[in-house]
Amino acid sequence: MAEKLIVIGGTAAGLSAASRARKEKPDMEIQVFEKSGFVSYGACGLPYFVGGLIHDINDLVAINAESLKNMRNISAWIHHEVLLIDPEKKEVSVKNLDTDQVSIHSYDKLVIATGAVPVVPPIPGIHSDGVYYLRNMEDGIRLKAAAREHGRVCIIGGGAIGLEAAEELRNAGLSVSVYEQFPRLLPFLDNAFSQALEDTLIKHGINVHTGTQIAEILSEDGKASGIRTAFGEIEPSDIILVSAGVKPAGALAEQAGLALGLKGGIIVDDEMRTSHKDIWACGDCVQMKNRITGKPAYVPLGTTANKQGRIAGGNVAGGHDTFKGILGSMVTKVFELFIAATGLSKEQAAGEGYDAISVSITKADRASYYPGGRDNHICLIVDKKTGRLLGAQGIGSESIAGRINVLATAITCGMTVEEINELDLVYAPPAAPVYDPILIAANQAMKKITE
């Protein structure tokens, strides 16, 4: 009799696990339960759907449930929520959200890929109608419908998703205000980079309020009508978008008695196996490991979810692949400004006991005489004792993403700034200057180490 795999969660990590298991074990019976109405979609594209850059929500779907069955022989059940895991009986209780019927399904192997849920700040009025989140497809559909009907939005939280949504809603013609409780946006960034980001938002007509906590979401007849800050300032608004981060969706795992760690993320080993031998977990619901420090970390990213899903799926089918950790490499775009980062910030590095130094440089992304060039600003975080690169950040043109990718590779390989300075990087006037910004930054770091 063929082994049966059940996967809880049908987006990035879950579908990657199911697809890899199918490839490795063609005769395995595979069922995927997803409580939303969509599987295998690009959640990172939701801000661009909300703003109208992407017109059809289905363009974000990589493959639907029907195609999964026809093309990969994977049974994906949408609007089905797993309520309970019984590790001893190896059973899950599943509720059909369309009929409210609950059924029991047995498994031989189980993969938990429940993802993350939005952080709901303890703000009076947070549960009023007109308060939105942007985590799944249904969220995107609701927010886009509201944006078509209203003209004002307040965004609580200045993280990447909130800022991407701010741009898109502004482009759609709404009045947009961003409220961030920390002194600056994306606070892990170099101060000057955060300021450049704020200046870009303001230039495009977005009101930015840093160092500002929301004391209350105001409402009229149960419908959100604005916000009141801790300073007593009131701003009327038709839409309140909460973008205060996410946390692991670990409730099912906790109920099943699985070990939980940082922020409630499921603890897994390098093969993505949980504390129960027949249960694996992957994606935004798990505790991760920082590749530099070796310590627990939680940085939920689509790239990590897909990689972990592939590893979990392969190991469910008998493999022994390992996931070695994360750097937290990220990139986002706010209007014409691209922001990218990888590894540790200077503050994080110092907190880990490194004698951390940082250097920042500015250099055009192509030859100075070639039309259309834009400045790239790069900051390197380096261990002064060893010269090892610990982190990198950059803002500027689209090309900054590629340069941070190079530096992420360097961190992964444990390279020093001296070794980075010796890299043989490409050059052509339309593509890069003869002395790449990466090399200039590395050279400046070498000089600072010897000071």
DSSP 8-state class, residue 414: T
- Tell me, rounded to whole angstroms, the distance of Cα 42 from its chain centroid: 11
> How far apart are alpha carbons 15 and 30 in whole angstroms?
11
DSSP 8-state class, residue 359: E
> How far apart are alpha carbons 299 and 270 in whole angstroms?
16
Does 282 qualify as catalytic in the annotation?
no
Integer CA distances (angstroms), 416 to 141, 382, 388, 421, 422, in order? 47, 8, 4, 9, 10
Contacts of 195 (CB under 8 A, 6+ apart): 184
Residue matched to tokens 């006037």: 429
Contacts of 358 (CB under 8 A, 6+ apart): 190, 346, 379, 380, 381, 382
Q: Are 263 and 248 in contact (CB under 8 A)?
A: yes
> How far apart are alpha carbons 195 and 184 in whole angstroms?
7
Kindly name the residue from 44, 282, 285, 379 that is annotated as catalytic: 44
Beta strands (DSSP E) in 113-262 are 116-118, 131-132, 152-156, 175-180, 207-210, 214-220, 223-229, 234-236, 239-242, 246-248
CA dihedral 258, 264, 265, 268 (to 10 degrees): -40
Geometric angle at alpha carbon 59, from 158 and 139, rounded to 5°: 40
> Terminus-to-terminus CA distance in the chain, angstroms?
69
Integer CA distances (angstroms), 27 to 290, 317, 362, in order? 36, 11, 56
Per-residue tokens: 69: 């069955």
> How far apart are alpha carbons 48 and 31 in whole angstroms?
31
Supply the Cα-derived Rg of the chain in whole angstroms: 23
Strand order in the sheet with 80-86: 80-86, 91-96, 102-106
Question: For residue 134, what are the β-bridge partners?
Answer: none
Residues taking part in catalysis? 44
